[in-house]
């Protein structure tokens, strides 16, 4: 008769969970990997559906990458971008622009009535009005109508053409550059008429430099008047900076542009006969036969 121990062991084997058919593979030894590589055996025992799913994933990746390439990349604004390796020229340019903006804002002490020098704003605005293009064009036309000498009319006609050239050139450059002033403010009525809307270059500085150089070259003035004329040109250019209309670099470039306009007018100076012809045409008294 079998012993009680053998009967008990058989009963244990029958009741064991690992003896069931679905768990028989767990009792078998690992093939090729031994007991130290359970992850490999489990990986090799994956179902065919999982293998097919893995093989199908690489084919789907190109479609995803193609759809991403089709999407347009989001571009950040230039002022929000940072160059990791900027050149020395770029660093110097940005540094000078930052210094220019900082100094121009500090010098705009008459930008508003609530500024530190707001009480002098009306006086500074009156000084800036003496260098306005409309003021000089109207004044030149009035003097031209009252002039009786050929030499005076010749000088005034060339000055009028120089003023028109200055207004048109500055307006064109401002439209191209479209630089705003250091303080956000709307242009005045006179500025809109003279097309002096943007900051670069400074129209008043250009006009003051051109007019002062023109008068110093074609009028006989005493030394104190010559000094006052140069001082007037500098103050007119500086007044626009104090009013917060222009940067310092705008004023400097305006002075340089005014000198360029003077040199250009000197090279194309109109003679007295040509000026008389233009005056006759403007007054509708010109006759081509006489």
Q: Please list the active-site residues.
A: 204, 246
Taking the C-alpha atoms of residue 100 and residue 96, their distance in angstroms, rounded to an integer, is 6
Rounded CA separation 157/137 (Å):
11
Using DSSP, state whether 92 is helix, strand or coil: helix
Output DSSP code: residue 8.
H
* DSSP codes joined into one string, 110-154: TSSTTSTTGGGHHHHHHHHHTT-HHHHHHHHHHHHHH--SHHHHH
Per the omega criterion (within 30 degrees of 0), is the bond before 201 cis? Answer: yes
DSSP letter string, 27-64: HSPPSSS-TT-HHHHHHHT--HHHHHHHHHHHHHHHHH
User: How far apart are the two ends of the chain, measured CA to CA in Å?
Assistant: 158
* Tokens (6 digits) for 132: 């306005």
Alpha-carbon span 187 to 169, nearest angstrom: 18
8-state DSSP, 75: P
Q: What is the dihedral of CA 112, 113, 119, 122, to 10 degrees?
A: 70
């Amino acid at each position: 008769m079998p012993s009680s121990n053998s009967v008990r062991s058989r009963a244990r084997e029958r009741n064991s969970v690992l003896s069931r058919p679905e768990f028989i593979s767990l009792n078998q030894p690992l093939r090729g990997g031994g007991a130290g590589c359970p992850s490999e055996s489990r990986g090799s025992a994956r179902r065919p559906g999982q293998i097919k799913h893995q093989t199908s994933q690489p084919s789907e990746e190109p479609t995803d990458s193609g759809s991403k390439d089709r999407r347009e990349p989001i571009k950040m604004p230039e002022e929000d971008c940072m160059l990791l390796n900027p050149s020395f020229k770029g660093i110097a340019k940005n540094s000078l622009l930052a210094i220019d903006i900082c100094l121009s804002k500090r010098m705009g002490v008459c930008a508003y009535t609530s500024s530190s020098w707001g009480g002098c704003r009306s006086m500074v605005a009156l000084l800036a009005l003496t260098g306005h293009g409309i003021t000089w064009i109207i004044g030149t036309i009035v003097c031209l109508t009252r002039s009786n000498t050929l030499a005076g009319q010749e000088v005034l006609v060339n000055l009028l053409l120089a003023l028109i050239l200055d207004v048109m050139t500055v307006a064109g450059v401002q439209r191209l550059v479209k630089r705003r002033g250091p303080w956000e403010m709307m242009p005045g009525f006179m500025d809109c008429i003279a097309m002096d809307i943007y900051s670069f270059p400074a129209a008043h500085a250009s006009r003051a430099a051109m007019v002062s150089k023109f008068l110093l070259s074609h009028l006989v003035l005493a030394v104190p008047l010559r000094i006052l004329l140069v001082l007037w040109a500098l103050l007119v250019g500086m007044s626009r900076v104090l009013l917060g209309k222009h940067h310092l670099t705008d004023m400097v470039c305006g002075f340089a542009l005014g000198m360029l306009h003077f040199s250009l007018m000197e090279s194309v100076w109109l003679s007295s006969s040509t000026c008389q012809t233009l005056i006759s045409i403007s007054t509708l008294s010109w006759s081509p036969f006489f």
